[in-house]
Chains A and B, each alone.
Chain A
Amino acid sequence: MSATPVLALRGVSKRFGAVQALTDVELEVHAGEVVALVGDNGAGKSTLVKTIAGVHPIDDGVIEWEGSAVQISKPHDAQNLGIATVYQDLALCDNIDVVGNLYLGRELRRRGVLDEVEMERRARELLTTLSIRIPSVRIPIASLSGGQRQTVAIARSMLGEPKLVILDEPTAALGVEQTAQVLDLVERLRDRGHAVILISHNMADVKAVADKVAVLRLGRNNGVFDVASTSQEEIISAITGATDNAVTRRAARNAEVQK
């Protein structure tokens, strides 16, 4: 693992109108590392990802890319740095085939005409190296299953050889087998030296593939855990704030009363 993180957030804050969505958030991701970003609904996971992807520019704080501070103010900036984002709602066109979707917006051309042959060859190569199994690269996305679409969406993010891949709940709508395939793919991304940020609500997935777990609670950091040495209960209590809730407050009050 390299010493300088690929991406580091230092004291990032983001405000929408009257809502302080993120407050002084810190996050580090190294090359060849999968960092799971977890938290309850509304904890600010998606907002944080969108600030990194350039959808919402940050208000305060610093984003460091490979050690130096950078400005990410629009999606293009993030793409140029080498950040690829796979959104929760898949950004694929149902009516276009797999090859067309992989190369959508960056079609290869030959004498001004689409170079279908080269695109198909490279698409097959990419899918093979990622061990993605799809009936044919020439069938429309509409006829693929949810899991296959998800793998295509992830493969699409790999085309630009990104350094950091952000996956927003990649297994949310998937079955058992498809979830395993996507998790396999996440591990392959890590093995190829990509840094991965994985957003998930599923603790089993997080425990399965992540190296570190960063917990967000109400827009603030609530601990970064090493997956190998942390129990699921500890992570969940960090997510739900189990150390500070009605039950613990009552217990604390009772303890005081008894004193």
Chain B
Amino acid sequence: MSTDKTSTPLGKADPAAADDAPAPAPAAVTAVDPRLLVREQGFAGYLSEFKRKMRAGDLGSIPVVIGLIVIWAIFQGLNSNFLSAGNLSNIAVSMVATGMMAVGIIFVLLLGEIDLSVGSVSGVSGAIVAVLSVTNGINEWLAIVAAIVGGALIGVIHGFFFARIGAPAFAVTLSGLLFWQGFMLQLLGSNGTINLDSDGLVGQLTTYYFSDVAAAYGLAVVAVAAFFLSSFTDSRRREAAGVPSRPLSEIVLRTALLAVLAFAAAATFNQYKGLPLAVLLFLLVLVASDFVLRRTAYGRKVFALGGSVEASRRAGINVTAVRISVFAIAGTFAAVGGLFWASKIAAANQSAAPATC
């Protein structure tokens, strides 16, 4: 093996090596490796890059897209109502509960850890709201705040056991899963279910729609404009600083793609009842968490911990604090997801642990 490895490059690269040997001194000015393949600018570059990746087996998100298309085709074949505006709109709203929990889990996954407890924590959150607002008649806003803070505290507890005590996250959150499920049953009492007022604050989370047509289209316009402006100003700044930037044509192309998607979605929502409040909140959460993860020092720390704990520690990152905070975020989003779930089924009951059952 070792002889094989040394002999092939030698035989092949010998003339090149001889050429290279004196080269580094004069070539030292350029900081670019000659082997780097520079992608062609613009659309043609995208296409050739895409083809190359496909051939190399680097499929990226293509399998997901194909999977979605297949699923849609099958369900549309079984029931012609599947792709109707009403159904798509309903699916979008139903998605929000699990989507919120998924956002929290993403933070944990970026650390290279796992949180198995989100389902149970979301159940606890629904139970807290129901017990406080329905059974004890406390203001619904306060109940919601209590549920979310409760989720965050649960996350801190998990994080403490993981980061401070040093128990594996798998074990901590698995026991969390069991414990918080029991805690939820305890909260709900002997009936095991508490119905929520579907016109109440929690109920409105998934039932409120901005029926004005302008709302969905307005959101699409704002999103597209914000995307274009931020890409454009970023590109201008990069150009001014002399670092590689996206050409204007590429920005326009990306904006156009986003615009098509955004307006198609807006049109679909408007065909039914308008822009759902739940979807609007979910989109805001998505944008905010993406911003935190990719544009702030905190997000960089989360990524760094997922890459190498030791390197992060040597770089002066407070490993324990970041770990605990990430579990707190997961707990918070689990609680938020639990609110949407409770809103969807208009009750807090034993089934309200979607991710576990």
User: Which residues in A have some Cβ–Cβ distance to B below 8 Å?
Assistant: 75-76, 87, 89-96, 100, 104-107, 109, 112-114, 117-118, 120-121, 124, 127-128, 131-136, 138, 141, 180-181, 184
Contacts and interface: CB of A to CB of B under 8 A. Distances in A.
Interface string B28-48: 111111011000000000000
Contact of B36 (A100, A120, A136): A136
A43 B242 CA distance: 49
B241 A127 contact: no
Contacts of B28: 131, 133
B300 A121 contact: no
Contacts of B29: 128, 131
Contacts of B243: 117, 120-121, 124
8 contacts: A75-B314, A90-B311, A93-B303, A96-B303, A100-B303, A104-B317, A133-B30, A133-B32
Contacts of B300: 96, 100, 104, 107, 114
A112 B291 CA distance: 12
Nearest to A95: B307
A117 B297 contact: no
> Which one of B244, B296, B308, B312 has the greatest number of beta carbons of chain A within 10 Å?
B308
Nearest to A148: B33
A135 B304 contact: no
Contacts of B57: none
A109 B298 CA distance: 12
Given A96-B307, A133-B31, A135-B33, A109 B297 contact: yes
B52 interface: no
Contacts of A96: 300, 303-304, 307
B86 interface: no
B250 interface: no
Contacts of A124: 31, 243
A94 B303 CA distance: 10
Interface in B305-330: 306-308, 310-312, 314-317
Contacts of A136: 32, 36
Contact of B237 (A117, A132, A141): A117
Q: Considering the complex of A and B, which 3 residue pairs feature the smallest CB-CB distances, nearest first?
A: A93-B307, A105-B315, A135-B36
**Majority secondary structure of chain A interface residues (helix, strand, loop or mixed):** loop
Given A104-B300, A114-B296, A136-B36, A87 B314 contact: yes
A104 B30 contact: no
B316 to A, nearest CB: 4
Interface residues of B, number: 32
B55 interface: no
Contacts of B51: none
A92 to B, nearest CB: 6
Contacts of A93: 303-304, 306-308, 311-312
B352 to A, nearest CB: 35
B250 to A, nearest CB: 16
B246 to A, nearest CB: 12
A134 B312 contact: no
B22 interface: no
Contact of A91 (B33, B296, B306, B310): B310
Contacts of B297: 107, 109, 114
Interface string B1-45: 000000000000000000000001000111111011000000000
Contacts of B304: 93, 96, 100, 104
B212 interface: no
B295 A114 contact: yes
B303 to A, nearest CB: 6
Nearest to B244: A138
B234 interface: yes
A121 B310 contact: no
B254 interface: no
B238 interface: yes
Contacts of B244: 138
Most buried by A among B243, B244, B306: B243
A119 to B, nearest CB: 10
Given A91-B310, A93-B307, A95-B307, 5 more contacts: A91-B315, A96-B304, A109-B297, A124-B31, A128-B31
A133 B28 CA distance: 8
Contact of A135 (B32, B241, B317): B32
Given A114-B295, A118-B241, A91 B36 contact: no
Contacts of A118: 241
A117 B30 contact: no
B314 A91 contact: yes
A138 B28 CA distance: 20
Nearest to B314: A91
